[in-house]
Amino acid sequence: MNEVDLKLLMEIAKLESVPQGAYNIRKNGESAGRASSDTIEIVSKTDKPGIDIHVKAGTKNESVHIPVILTETAYTETVYNDFFIGDDADILIVAGCGIHNGGCNTTQHDGVHTFYLGKNARVKYVERHYGEGEGEGKRVMNPETVAYLDEGAYMELETTQIKGVDDTVRKTYIECKKGAEVVINEKLFTHDEQHAESKMDIVLAGEDASGRVISRSVARDKSSQIFFPSVTGRASCFGHVQCDSIIMDGATIKSIPTVAAEHPEATLVHEAAIGKIAGEQLQKLMTLGLTREEAEEKILDGFMR
């Protein structure tokens, strides 16, 4: 691991060194380190790029780190990672991708993560995306997350695009059985002429299933964002979609939430708000000695937390 690698790992996974427990670090299409534990096994796929992660039933208080870093220009990959979470397990999974592109050509990572949660399993999944590099080549990331939650399962997704990603199409599909719950917290930041699309489909298929989407975004400069969050209720269930965005400079944002009830006892709600930073917030901070730029950064930092 060189200095660039370590910086990328810190940005996307908060890692200063090789993590404890189960992990898989992928760099430019190759394994840069892997370890399994007594209850978590990581094995390479044999039919396509990627890994299978098997978590034994009843596993508690363990974590899995699976970051990806790309440091070559003109490099493109598609990776497939499948997670098999046993009944009653409770784990943290930290993923994410960092790209350092110092060349003139596009570097791109497409990642498809599919989760199968057993009965009453609990998963917190953290995914961060970050791009950097002095080159003119684009940094492109297209993450796709698919999850099937068995009865009583719970999944929390915390997804963040930090900065430096020129183009992204983010796809999420979650299906919940009886009593299962999913919570999605999405944070998205775009600047310059970057473009981002986020497409979410949550299907509440079982009785007493629930799903919540909380999306916060900031678009600056001439960047553009499009959101398509959707919740479908097929049983007595509850779903809530909330999208809040701050727009600045010459950016554009479209938010198109959809709720679809296919059962008379489905309760579904959606909210969407797009606006600029409130003038009174800026004035208050500037009276405390901050410049306008410093005040804006403070407000944006608080909004995206």
Is residue 130 a contact partner of residue 160, using CB atoms and an 8 Å limit? no
**Regarding predicted confidence, which is higher, 289 or 42?**
42
Residue 223 is predicted with a pLDDT of: 97
Main-chain phi, psi angles of 297, to 5 degrees: -65, -40
pTM: 0.93
Q: Does residue 302 lie in a domain region?
A: no
Element (H, E) at 131: strand 122-132
Could you give the angle at which helices 279-286 and 292-304 cross, rounded to 10 degrees? 120
Q: Looking at the predicted structure, is the pLDDT value of residue 211 above 80?
A: yes
Residue 273 is predicted with a pLDDT of: 92
Residue 164 is predicted with a pLDDT of: 93
Q: Looking at the predicted structure, is the pLDDT value of residue 149 above 80?
A: yes
Residue 19 is predicted with a pLDDT of: 78
pLDDT tens digits for range 47-91: 999 999 999 999 999 999 999 999 999 999 999 999 999 999 999
Residue 280 is predicted with a pLDDT of: 82
Residue 304 is predicted with a pLDDT of: 74
Is residue 222 a contact partner of residue 192, using CB atoms and an 8 Å limit? yes
Q: Looking at the predicted structure, is the pLDDT value of residue 124 above 90?
A: yes
Q: Does residue 297 lie in a domain region?
A: no
Contacts (Cβ under 8 Å, ≥6 apart) of 80: 45, 48, 49, 50, 112, 114
- Mean pLDDT of the chain, nearest integer: 94
Residue 186 is predicted with a pLDDT of: 96
- How far apart CA 170 and CA 110 sit, in angstroms, is 10
Is residue 118 a contact partner of residue 57, using CB atoms and an 8 Å limit? yes
Split at pLDDT 50, 70, 90, the class of 290 is confident
Residue 18 is predicted with a pLDDT of: 72
pLDDT tens digits for range 166-188: 999 999 999 999 999 999 999 99
Query: Of the candidates 181, 21, 198, which has an alpha carbon nearest to the alpha carbon of residue 127?
Result: 198
- Structural domains counted in the chain: 1
Residue 269 is predicted with a pLDDT of: 95
Which residues span the domain enclosing 140? Answer: 3-278
Residue 193 is predicted with a pLDDT of: 96
Q: Does residue 288 lie in a domain region?
A: no
pLDDT tens digits for range 213-244: 999 999 999 999 999 999 999 999 999 999 99
Q: What single letter denotes the amino acid at residue 110?
A: D
Q: Does residue 50 lie in a domain region?
A: yes
Q: Does residue 289 lie in a domain region?
A: no
Q: Does residue 31 lie in a domain region?
A: yes
pLDDT tens digits for range 156-167: 999 999 889 999
Q: Does residue 147 lie in a domain region?
A: yes
**Regarding predicted confidence, which is higher, 115 or 19?**
115
Question: What would the mean pLDDT of 274-292 be, rounded to a whole number?
Answer: 83
The DSSP line for 35-72 is E--SSEEEEE-SSSSEEEEEE-TT-EEEEEE--EEE--
Contacts (Cβ under 8 Å, ≥6 apart) of 277: 246, 248, 296, 299, 300
Q: Does residue 301 lie in a domain region?
A: no
